[in-house]
Chain A
Amino acid sequence: MKIDAIKNGIVLDHIKAGTGMILYQFLKLDDLDCPVALIKNASSKKLGKKDIIKIDSSEYNLDLDVIGFIDPEITVDIIKNGVLCEKRHLELPEKLTNILTCKNPRCITSVEQELPHIFHLTDRENKIYRCAYCEAKAKS
Chain B
Amino acid sequence: MNLKQLSKLTFLFLVCCTVSINSTRLDAFDLDKFKNKLEKLKQQKEDLQEKKKTLDLATGNVNKRDEINIGRNVISGLLGAAPLVDNEPLQQYVNKIGYWIALQSERPKLPWTFGVIHSKNINAFASPGGYIVLTLGLYELLENESQLAAILAHEISHVIEKHHLDAIRDTSKREILGALAVKATSKKHREKMQKLVNSSVQIYARGLDKKFEFGADRRGVVLAARAGYDPYAMLDVLTTLHSISAADDSMTVFLNTHPPLAKRIKTLENLMDRHLVIHNIPTDNQRLQRVNHMIASKP
Do A and B associate with each other? Answer: no
- Hey, which bits of chain A sit against chain B, CB under 8 A? none
**Chain B contacts to A: CB under 8 angstroms:** none
